[in-house]
C-alpha cells in the first residue's frame, strides 16, 4: 500500500505508524495511508522561519510576484495528472476543474498584485503625516513580513485550491508556509507539492507539508506565526481557544462552514429569466462537489407565492442529475469524500427531518451509475421543505455538509433578510432579482451578517462566477458562525501577513527608509536632467528645478480653444460673483500641461513614455500675471521584468510634480508615471 509522505526539513519523510488509511471514494478501494506522528513540529516551524523565511523576506514584492507566476505556469503544465487523482476524492471533471485550475488561478491573481506594491521587501502604507509646524518631523507607516510561519489547516473538500489560495498570499507577503491538509484527501495535496518542490521555483523551506493528523502542531506556534483554519465552526473554535494561541497572541483566521442562503426576489416571478437562473443556481450549489463546499447554499428562501413552483423546478432538475462514477458519461454528481462523511451527513439529515419534510431524495433508495453504492461514499441529494422557518429553526442551526438544502417561504423582503440573518453569520448569500431596488434593499439589510453577497440577474448571468465561487481579489470569510475572519481579498490578504509599524523622523530619514520621496526632504539638483538618466542611475529625491513662466490671458484663451473647455470661470469674468475666484482663472489642466512643458527634456533619451497621472490636485487659483515654476522630483522606482527576450529592459519611475507660484506657494501637485529604459541590455 502506498505511503503518502510529509515534506519537512528539506526531505520527504514518513510519520510513525499509520494514523489514517485512505480510500477511493468511488470504488471504496484502499489507496494508501498517511501519518505525521513522531514529527518534531517545533523543528518544522523553526526550519520554515529560518530557512525559508530568511530568503523570502529579502525578496522584493516584484520578485515574489514573478516567483508565483512561474509556479502557476509550471503547475498548469502538470495539471492533467491531478485530474485523475482528484477523481479518487469523488470529484467530477467540473469539481476537479474548480479545485485544480481555480487553485492555480489564485497563484496568477496574487502574482499580478505585484503591480500594487513597491520594488522593496516591505510595503509603504498610506501617506505621510505631518507632525510638526515647520515640517521637519513627520510620520508614516511601513509593513514588513512577519518573521514566523503561516500554518494552514485546511478542509478535505478542496485539497488543491484550499492550499494554493492560502500559500499564494503568504508567499507574496514574504512568509513561508506549513500546510496541513485534511488527512483524508491529503494524497492529492501531496501530488501537487511534489511538483512544487521538484520545480525548485520556491526557496527551500518556503513550503512544508504535513499529510497526517498533525496533533501537537499548534503547541509549537509562537507570536511570529499566523494560523489559518478552514473547516467546521466547532473545530475552529477549539483551535482558536488553544492556550498557545492565546498566550502568544497568535493571529488566527477562522473560515468556517456556514448556513449560506440564496434568496429569490419577488420581482423574479415564474417565467422570468431570473426565476430560471435561481433554479439552475440552486441545483448547481446542491450538486457541485456533492454539496461539500463551505459556500454551498443550505437555505433556499423564496416568496411564499412561488414556493410550489420553486420546489417543482429544483426537484425536476435533481431528478435528472445522475450520481455515480465521474468517468461515466452523463454523471453530474460524484461521491462524498469519505464514508465517514456519509455517516456525518446522514446524521444531520435525520436530525433536520425531525422538524421539516424531505420533498426530494431518499437516504437509502437512489441509483448510482458505474459504481457500487455500498462500496463508494455516495449520497442522494436531499431537498427539505420548511413551511414555518421562523419557528422551526433547526435549518438555521444544523448544517449537513453534503448535497442537502432546505426551501422556506417568506412574505416580505424584510422577512427574507431576517431569515438569512438567522444563520448567525454566513460566508455568502445571494439574491436573484431583475430589480436593482429590491437588490439594494436586500444587500444593505443583510450585509452585516454576510462576508459576500452575489446579486444575480440576466445582465450578469453569462459571466457571473456564481453563488459558491469566492474570488481571489475579493475577501472570503464572514462574521459570526462563519468565523469572523477574512482570506484573500487581493492586497488586503497580503497585508494580513505583514506587521504594520509607525515610523517617525525627519523627511530625509523617512525618504531613505521608504524609498519614496517625502515632502520636506532634501532635493539635490539632478545632474544631468532626470530625462537623460537611465532607470538604474536615477536617485529618489533628485530634482529638476525648471525655468519659470508667467501666465497670461492669451494662455487661457488659447488653451480654451485647443481643449474646448470654456467653463465660465476661465472665460467670463462677469460671472464670478458668488464664487471663490477674484477674476478669470487659468485652467488647472493648463497648469499641468505647462508644467510638462517646463520639466520635459524633449530630446530622445531613456524615457520611453509617460503613461499616467496620479493624485493630481489644484491647490491655489492661478490668475493671469502669476509666474509658475516646477520642482520635478524622482519619487519612487519600481523594477519591471522583461516579458520576452526582445522586450526592452525597463522600469517604472514615479515623478512628483510640484508647481509653485512667485510667492513660493504650491498651486498644483501630481505624480506622473513614466517608463524608463535600463542601462543593461
- Across 569-626, where does the E strand assignment appear? 607-618
The residue behind cell 462523511 is: 341
What's the CA dihedral at 6, 11, 12, 13 to 10 degrees?
Answer: -70
Residue 680 pLDDT: 74
Q: Is the dihedral of CA 227, 229, 233, 239 positive or negative?
A: negative
Cell (9 digits) for 40:
518534531
Residue 642 pLDDT: 81
Catalytic residue positions, numbered: 255, 294
Residue 120 pLDDT: 92
Which of 473, 484, 481, 482 is CA-nearest to residue 165?
Answer: 473
Cell (9 digits) for 46:
523553526
What lies within 8 Å, CB to CB, of 370 at 6+ separation is 324, 325, 327, 328, 331
Cell (9 digits) for 426:
454566513
Which of 523, 546, 528 is CA-nearest to residue 635?
Answer: 523
Distance CA 117, CA 142 (A): 12
What lies within 8 Å, CB to CB, of 376 at 6+ separation is 24, 25, 26, 27, 28, 90, 335, 368
Question: What backbone phi and psi angles, to 5 degrees, belong to 199?
Answer: -70, -25
Q: Which domains does the chain have, with CATH numbers?
A: 44-256+492-498 (3.40.605.10), 260-466 (3.40.309.10), 523-677 (3.10.129.10)
The residue behind cell 477674484 is: 582
Query: What digits encode the pLDDT tens for the residues 9-41?
Result: 999 998 887 788 999 999 999 999 999 989 999
Distance CA 90, CA 402 (A): 12
DSSP string, 432-476: E-S-HHHHHHHHHHHGGGEEEEEEE-TTTTTT---TT---TTSEE
Distance CA 561, CA 70 (A): 51
Average pLDDT, the chain: 93
Which of 515, 507, 489 is CA-nearest to residue 122?
Answer: 515
What lies within 8 Å, CB to CB, of 661 at 6+ separation is 620, 622, 626, 627, 628, 667
Distance CA 168, CA 114 (A): 12
- What's the Rg (C-alpha) of the chain? 30
Which of 680, 676, 681 is CA-nearest to residue 534?
Answer: 676
Which of 416, 438, 467, 431 is CA-nearest to residue 275?
Answer: 431
Q: Which secondary structure element, helix H or strand E, spans residue 522, and what is its range?
A: none
Distance CA 597, CA 612 (A): 16
Q: Which secondary structure element, helix H or strand E, spans residue 486, and what is its range?
A: strand 485-488
What lies within 8 Å, CB to CB, of 371 at 6+ separation is 26, 27, 324, 325, 335, 378
Pairing mode, if any, of strands 426-432 and 450-456? parallel
CB 423 within 8 A of CB 261: yes
Between helix 93-112 and helix 161-173 the angle, nearest 10°, is 10
Q: For residue 50, give the DSSP letter.
A: I
> 523-541: string of b/e by CB count within 10 Å (b at 16+)?
beebeebbbebbbbebebb
Q: Which secondary structure element, helix H or strand E, spans residue 477, and what is its range?
A: strand 475-478
Cell (9 digits) for 668:
498644483
Cell (9 digits) for 199:
520545480
Find out whether the peptide bond into 528 is cis, omega within 30 degrees of 0. Answer: yes
Q: For residue 179, give the DSSP letter.
A: E
Residue 90 DSSP SS3 = coil
Ranges of the chain with pLDDT below 70? 681
Which of 234, 167, 159, 162 is CA-nearest to residue 189?
Answer: 159
Residue 420 DSSP SS3 = helix
Cell (9 digits) for 589:
489642466
Q: Which secondary structure element, helix H or strand E, spans residue 21, and what is its range?
A: strand 20-23
Residue 681 pLDDT: 58
- Across 80-203, where does the E strand assignment appear? 123-130, 138-145, 150-153, 177-180
Q: pTM value?
A: 0.89
Amino acid at each position: 500500500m502506498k505511503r503518502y509522505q510529509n515534506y519537512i526539513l528539506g526531505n520527504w519523510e514518513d510519520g510513525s505508524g499509520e494514523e489514517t488509511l485512505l480510500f477511493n471514494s468511488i470504488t471504496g478501494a484502499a489507496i494508501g495511508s498517511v501519518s505525521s506522528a513522531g514529527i518534531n513540529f517545533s523543528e518544522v516551524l523553526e526550519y520554515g522561519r529560518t530557512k525559508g523565511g530568511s530568503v523570502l523576506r529579502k525578496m522584493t514584492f516584484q520578485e515574489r510576484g514573478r516567483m508565483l507566476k512561474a509556479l502557476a505556469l509550471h503547475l498548469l503544465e502538470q495539471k492533467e495528472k491531478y485530474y485523475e487523482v482528484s477523481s479518487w476524492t469523488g470529484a467530477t471533471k467540473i469539481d476537479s476543474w474548480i479545485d485544480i485550475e481555480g487553485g492555480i488561478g489564485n497563484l496568477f491573481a496574487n502574482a499580478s498584485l505585484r503591480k500594487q506594491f513597491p520594488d522593496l521587501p516591505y510595503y509603504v502604507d498610506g501617506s505621510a503625516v505631518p507632525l510638526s509646524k515647520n515640517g521637519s518631523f513627520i510620520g508614516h507607516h511601513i509593513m514588513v513580513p512577519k518573521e514566523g510561519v503561516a500554518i494552514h489547516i485546511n478542509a478535505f473538500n478542496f485539497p488543491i485550491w484550499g492550499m494554493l489560495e492560502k500559500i499564494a498570499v503568504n508567499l507574496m507577503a514574504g512568509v513561508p508556509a506549513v500546510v496541513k491538509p485534511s488527512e483524508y484527501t491529503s494524497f492529492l495535496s501531496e501530488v501537487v507539492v511534489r511538483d512544487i518542490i521538484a520545480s525548485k521555483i520556491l526557496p527551500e523551506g518556503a513550503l512544508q507539508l504535513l499529510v497526517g493528523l498533525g496533533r501537537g502542531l499548534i503547541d509549537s506556534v509562537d507570536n511570529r506565526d499566523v494560523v489559518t483554519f478552514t473547516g467546521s465552526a466547532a473545530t475552529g473554535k477549539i483551535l482558536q481557544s488553544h492556550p498557545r494561541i492565546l498566550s502568544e497572541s497568535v493571529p488566527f483566521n477562522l473560515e468556517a462552514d456556514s448556513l449560506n442562503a440564496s434568496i429569490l426576489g419577488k420581482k423574479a416571478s415564474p417565467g422570468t429569466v431570473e426565476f430560471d437562473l435561481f433554479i439552475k443556481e440552486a441545483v448547481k450549489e446542491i450538486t457541485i462537489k456533492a454539496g461539500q463546499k463551505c459556500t454551498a447554499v443550505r437555505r433556499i428562501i423564496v416568496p411564499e407565492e412561488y414556493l410550489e413552483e420553486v420546489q417543482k423546478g429544483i426537484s425536476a432538475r435533481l431528478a435528472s442529475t445522475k450520481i455515480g462514477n465521474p468517468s461515466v458519461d452523463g454523471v453530474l454528481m460524484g461521491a462524498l469524500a469519505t464514508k465517514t462523511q456519509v455517516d456525518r451527513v446522514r446524521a444531520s439529515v435525520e436530525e433536520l427531518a425531525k422538524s421539516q419534510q424531505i420533498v426530494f431524495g431518499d437516504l437509502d433508495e437512489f441509483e448510482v451509475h458505474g459504481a457500487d453504492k455500498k462500496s463508494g461514499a455516495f449520497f442522494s441529494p436531499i431537498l427539505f421543505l420548511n413551511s414555518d422557518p421562523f419557528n422551526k429553526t433547526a435549518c438555521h442551526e444544523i448544517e449537513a455538509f453534503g448535497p442537502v438544502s432546505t426551501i422556506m417561504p417568506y412574505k416580505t423582503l424584510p422577512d427574507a433578510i431576517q431569515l438569512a440573518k438567522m444563520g448567525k453569520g454566513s460566508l455568502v448569500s445571494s439574491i436573484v432579482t431583475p430589480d436593482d431596488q429590491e437588490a439594494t434593499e436586500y444587500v444593505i439589510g443583510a450585509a452585516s451578517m454576510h462576508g459576500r453577497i452575489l446579486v444575480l440577474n440576466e445582465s450578469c448571468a453569462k459571466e457571473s462566477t456564481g453563488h459558491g465561487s469566492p474570488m481571489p481579489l475579493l475577501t472570503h470569510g464572514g462574521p459570526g458562525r462563519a468565523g469572523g475572519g477574512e482570506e484573500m481579498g487581493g492586497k488586503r490578504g497580503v497585508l494580513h501577513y505583514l506587521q504594520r509599524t509607525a515610523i517617525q523622523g525627519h523627511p530625509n530619514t523617512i525618504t531613505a527608509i521608504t524609498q519614496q520621496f517625502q515632502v520636506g526632504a532634501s532635493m539635490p539638483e539632478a545632474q544631468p536632467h532626470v530625462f537623460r538618466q537611465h532607470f538604474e542611475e536615477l536617485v529618489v529625491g533628485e530634482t529638476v528645478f525648471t525655468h519659470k513662466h508667467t501666465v497670461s490671458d492669451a494662455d487661457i484663451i488659447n488653451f480654451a480653444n485647443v481643449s474646448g473647455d470654456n467653463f465660465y470661470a476661465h472665460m467670463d469674468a462677469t460671472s464670478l460673483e458668488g464664487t471663490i475666484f477674484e477674476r478669470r482663472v487659468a485652467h488647472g489642466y493648463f497648469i499641468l500641461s505647462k508644467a510638462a512643458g517646463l520639466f520635459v527634456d524633449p530630446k530622445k533619451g531613456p524615457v520611453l513614455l509617460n503613461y499616467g497621472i496620479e493624485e493630481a490636485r489644484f491647490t491655489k487659483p492661478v490668475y493671469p500675471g502669476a509666474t509658475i515654476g516646477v520642482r520635478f522630483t524622482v519619487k519612487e522606482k519600481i523594477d519591471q521584468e522583461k516579458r520576452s527576450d526582445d522586450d526592452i529592459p525597463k522600469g517604472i519611475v514615479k515623478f512628483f510634480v510640484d508647481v509653485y507660484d512667485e510667492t513660493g506657494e504650491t498651486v498644483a501637485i501630481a505624480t506622473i508615471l513614466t517608463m524608463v529604459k535600463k542601462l543593461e541590455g
